[in-house]
Amino acid sequence: MNILKIVILDRDGVINHESPEYIKNHAEWHPIPGSLEAIAELCRRGWEVVIATNQSGIGRGLYDEAALTEIHDKMQKLLKDLGGHVKQVFYCPHHPEDKCACRKPAVGLLKQIADEYQLDFPFKTPIPLIGDSMRDLMAAASGGCIPILVLTGNGLKTLKTLKEASTSSSPAENATIQLLTKILMKKTIVCEDLATAVNTLPIFQPDTPTDTPTDIPKAQPA
């Protein structure tokens, strides 16, 4: 069986600094220290790195696809200098009110990745998905990915949400969300940042037999 080592990264808050004003052009795109080096390290270790990112700024009319391409060209150029490369960027350009199938927590982007690599979907071989927001983790849980939360970007807020959900006795208004949150509480791996997350990945290599971690490990010491 041909098992690819694919890792899916969220972009904003994982690779680059998040902005409430959106990242509208390449000048506004600033990598989080260590993140590009971490991607280069993934490449060196034989991982195919893809990005799955919500870019509703396009649907909101704040920037266009050409500006998004320029942003990703900048990222790839900086990565190239480090010996790294993102294989493909899968993005959702829609406004949240479009109710599309690709805006995370929906799984449309993950489905596109599965199609691209000719993998079953939801993924049978769990593929790590590294994100900073609840919607990344939700998509990961729905798509059969291993959810990895980094504490950059929205990560600390997301961790708090996850912990509150695990101690809350009040029933969630939505049974699906409740179920997903339960799965996430069990399965989410918490890492300080992308560089730390990269070092948790070797345990998922197909040639290394291991159980899927079922507890939330403590964040790595700084």
Q: What residues line the site for Mg ion (CB under 5 A)?
A: 10, 12-13, 132-133
Catalytic site includes residue 10: yes
Are 166 and 144 in contact by the 8 Å Cβ rule? The answer is no
What is the signed CA dihedral for 156, 103, 130, 214, rounded to 10 degrees?
80
Confirm or reject binding of residue 102 to Zn ion (CB under 5 A): yes
Give the C-alpha separation, 104 to 101, whole Å. Answer: 8
Beta carbon of residue 102, minimum distance to Zn ion (angstroms, whole number): 3
165: partner contacted, choices Zn ion, Mg ion, none (Cβ within 5-8 A by kind):
none
Confirm or reject binding of residue 146 to Zn ion (CB under 5 A): no
Give the largest CA-CA distance in the chain: 51
Nearest partner of 7 among 36, 37, 46, 34, judged by Cα:
46
Which span (15-23, 89-97, 125-133, 143-151) binds Zn ion, by CB under 5 A?
89-97
- State the residue for tokens 């990264």: 9
Enter the tokens of residue 54.
Answer: 């919500």
193: partner contacted, choices Mg ion, Zn ion, none (Cβ within 5-8 A by kind):
none
Confirm or reject binding of residue 94 to Zn ion (CB under 5 A): yes
Q: Give whichever of 139 and 148 is closer to Zn ion, judged by the CB atom.
A: 139
Catalytic site includes residue 64: no
Beta carbon of residue 171, minimum distance to Mg ion (angstroms, whole number): 28
In the β-sheet with 189-191, what is the strand arrangement from edge to edge?
A: 88-92, 48-54, 6-9, 128-131, 146-150, 189-191
Q: Give whichever of 102 and 159 is closer to Zn ion, judged by the CB atom.
A: 102
- Considering the candidates 10, 132, 136, 193, report the single residue annotated as catalytic: 10
Binding region for Zn ion (CB under 5 A): 92, 94, 100, 102-103
Active site (catalytic) residues = 10, 12
